[in-house]
Amino acid sequence: QSALTQPASVSGSPGQSITISCTGSSSDVGAYNYVSWYQQHPGKAPKLMISEVSNRPSGVSYRFSGSKSGNTASLTISGLQAEDEADYYCISYAVTNTLVFGGGTKLTVL
């Protein structure tokens, strides 16, 4: 069982917006602004999409954004495109000085 809880799957049509939640505790997500999000296509290595809750690395589409409220972080993808179909993972730094991971969310673009 993963330390952070994500929905197993979400779906949306092209052009729509979707949000993936990542719920932790006051010992991880709620303790720091160190939540990051990763995209993983089948058979590929994960790719950093968002760091420090809402920081978008260079080269990542503006359609990806992150936020946090209390013990829950969220990743929003606007203007869904077919290439966004992938697995998404959240990771948080924790008070134990380790990283804790979410179980992953499969995004289907209908």
Partner 1 sequence: EVQLVESGGGLVKPGGSLRLSCAASGFTFSNAWMSWVRQAPGKGLEWVGRIKTKTDGGTTDYAAPVKGRFTISRDDSKNTLNLQMNSLKTEDTAVYYCTTYGGHCSGGFCYYYFHGLDVWGQGTTVTVSS
Tokens of 77: 């993808």
Q: What share of the chain is helix, strand, coil (3-state, %, to 5)?
A: 5, 50, 50
Residue 32 Cβ vs partner 1, minimum distance, rounded to whole Å: 8
Name the β-bridge partners of 87: 40, 106
Segment 7 to 36, residues that bind partner 1, using CB under 8 A: 32, 34, 36
Task: Give the residue among 88, 60, 95, 94 at the shortest CA–CA distance from 74.
Answer: 88
2 binds partner 1 (CB under 8 A): yes
Determine the interface stretch with partner 1 among 9-17, 19-27, 70-78, 85-93 (rule: CB under 8 A): 85-93
Q: How far apart are the first and last CA of the chain?
A: 29
64 binds partner 1 (CB under 8 A): no
Binding footprint of partner 1 on the chain (CB under 8 A): 2, 32, 34, 36, 38, 40, 45-48, 51-52, 55, 57-58, 89, 91-93, 97-104
